[in-house]
Amino acid sequence: MALLFPTIGCQLAFASLAIPMTATTRTPLPLAGRTALVTGAGSGFGRAISQRFAQDGARVGLAELSTEAAEESRRLIEADGGEALVIPTDVTDYAAMQAAVQAVTDRWGRLDIMVNNAGITIREAFLDLTVDAFDKVMAANLTGVFHGVRAAGLRMKEQGGGVIINMSSIRANVGGFIHTSYCASKGGVRMLTKAAAVELGPYGVRVCAIGPGVAETPLTESLLANQGALDDQLARVPMGRLGQPEDISEVAAFLASDDAAYVSGATLYVDGGEMTH
């Protein structure tokens, strides 16, 4: 160290030289040449993330239960000059997840970014919640994420790196009425993200999560149609508005990019400040 930087002044001079170099070498399309797979890509956050990744230069596999919804996402991406592939997928089926990862690598040679976004909710009071309903939410929201992390993790280990982003929620941290199965699944995603980050880090794979607050998507449409529930929700958010899919896709684009090269294991909450009080 002493030989490389004999004086503090020299270190400062070196550091000030390094800053413009980083700025000038950054590509205008941060995900150019990369490939991504997004589950639940036909609606809400998944569609916005897929569109944003394509705008940032990535080619995007659209893994969806609804082929019709995924086709609409593909049409939107292609109309914007991007490239996308529809992959009919049920994330609760591990073989289907493996096939989705394979479809992306068959088409584009590698998988750089995996977004485990697909999820559902069943709103039921705790004592009315059936075992079947609980299992259904866990299968989509938690086991589905495990399937995606495992299938993508194996591929990324083989190719020497990648980024995995899981969709959690503020409900990973705070409980809520009629949300037992959802809270349990999202808390599981938060911890699965940490555990996977520990084990996949040595292979050059970052594993992160996003924890959105309440946002306007088809998932929350019926809840927010109730004026009382909407008013209650807005009163809880310091920023005084609901989240939008673009609030989430911006953060996903950051986590997927090299700007987040040292971010792993973290859940980034995007909730307008709701969890601060």
Ligand X SMILES: NC(=O)c1ccc[n+]([C@@H]2O[C@H](COP(=O)([O-])OP(=O)(O)OC[C@H]3O[C@@H](n4cnc5c(N)ncnc54)[C@H](O)[C@@H]3O)[C@@H](O)[C@H]2O)c1
Q: Which positions lie near ligand X, rule CB under 6 A?
A: 39-40, 42-46, 64-66, 69, 89-92, 117-120, 140-141, 144, 167, 169, 212, 214-215, 217-220
Which three-class secondary structure state does DSSP give residue 206? strand
Q: Nearest approach, Cβ of 90 to ligand X (angstroms)?
A: 5
Q: Nearest approach, Cβ of 124 to ligand X (angstroms)?
A: 16
Q: Tokens for 214, please give them.
A: 């309440």
DSSP 8-state class, residue 231: H
Q: How far apart are CA 70 and CA 44, in angstroms?
A: 11
What burial letters (b/e) apply to 17-38, b meaning 16+ CB within 10 Å? eeeeeeeeeeeeebbeebbbbb
Choose between 32 and 75: whose C-beta lies nearer to ligand X: 75
Choose between 155 and 190: whose C-beta lies nearer to ligand X: 190
Q: How far apart are CA 246 and CA 52, in angstroms?
A: 8
Q: How many helices (H) and strands (E) would you count in the chain?
A: 10, 7
The strand pairing partners of 167, in sequence order, are: 210
Q: Nearest approach, Cβ of 27 to ligand X (angstroms)?
A: 29
Closest CA to 55 of 87, 27, 30: 30
Q: How far apart are CA 84 and CA 46, in angstroms?
A: 13
Q: Nearest approach, Cβ of 121 to ligand X (angstroms)?
A: 6
Answer for the pair 141, 113: CB distance below 8 angstroms, yes or no: no
Choose between 132 and 262: whose C-beta lies nearer to ligand X: 132
Choose between 165 and 200: whose C-beta lies nearer to ligand X: 165
Choose between 108 and 269: whose C-beta lies nearer to ligand X: 269
Q: Nearest approach, Cβ of 33 to ligand X (angstroms)?
A: 27
Is 203 a known active-site residue? Answer: no
The strand pairing partners of 113, in sequence order, are: 36, 163
Closest CA to 89 of 44, 134, 140: 140
Which amino acid does the sequence have at 186?
K
Catalytic residue among 182, 203, 262, 269: 182
Catalytic residues: 182
